[in-house]
Amino acid sequence: MSDTRAATTSDRDVTASGVAALNDLAPEDARQALLGCCAAERWAENMECARPYASPQAVHDQAEAAFATLLREDWLQAFAAHARIGAPRAGDERGAAEQAGASSASAEELAALQADNDRYEAEFGHVFLIRAGGLDAGQMLAALRERLGNPPARELDIAAEQQREITRLRLQALLA
Backbone dihedral angles phi then psi of residue 30, each to the nearest 5 degrees: -65, -45
pLDDT at 4 over 60: no
pLDDT for res 5? 34
pLDDT at 1 over 60: no
pLDDT in tens, 77-110: 999 999 998 887 888 888 888 888 888 888 999 9
Of the pLDDT bands very low, low, confident and very high (cuts 50, 70, 90), residue 15 is low
Backbone dihedral angles phi then psi of residue 34, each to the nearest 5 degrees: -70, -35
Q: What is the 3-state secondary structure (H, E, C) of the chain?
A: CHHHHHHHHHHHHHHHHHHHHHHHCCHHHHHHHHHCCCCCHHHHHHHHHCCCCCCHHHHHHHHHHHHCCCCHHHHHHHHHCCCCCCCCCCCCHHHHHHCHHHCCCCHHHHHHHHHHHHHHHHHHCCCCCCCCCCCCHHHHHHHHHHHCCCCHHHHHHHHHHHHHHHHHHHHHHHHC
pLDDT for res 37? 97
The superfamily CATH assigns to domain 83-165 is Oxo-4-hydroxy-4-carboxy-5-ureidoimidazoline decarboxylase (1.10.3330.10)
Annotated active-site residue in 42, 82, 147, 170: 82
Euclidean distance between CA atoms 37 and 67, whole angstroms:
12
pLDDT for res 87? 82
pLDDT for res 102? 84
Asked about 126 being catalytic, the answer comes back as no
pTM of the model: 0.87
Q: Are 100 and 140 in contact (CB under 8 A)?
A: no
pLDDT at 11 over 70: no
Within 10 A of 162 (CB to CB), how many other CB atoms are there?
19
Collect all residues with Cβ–Cβ distance below 8 Å to 26 and sequence separation of at least 6: none
**Residue limits of CATH 1.10.3330.10 in the chain:** 2-74, 83-165
Of the pLDDT bands very low, low, confident and very high (cuts 50, 70, 90), residue 3 is very low
CATH number of 2-74: 1.10.3330.10
Average pLDDT along the chain: 90
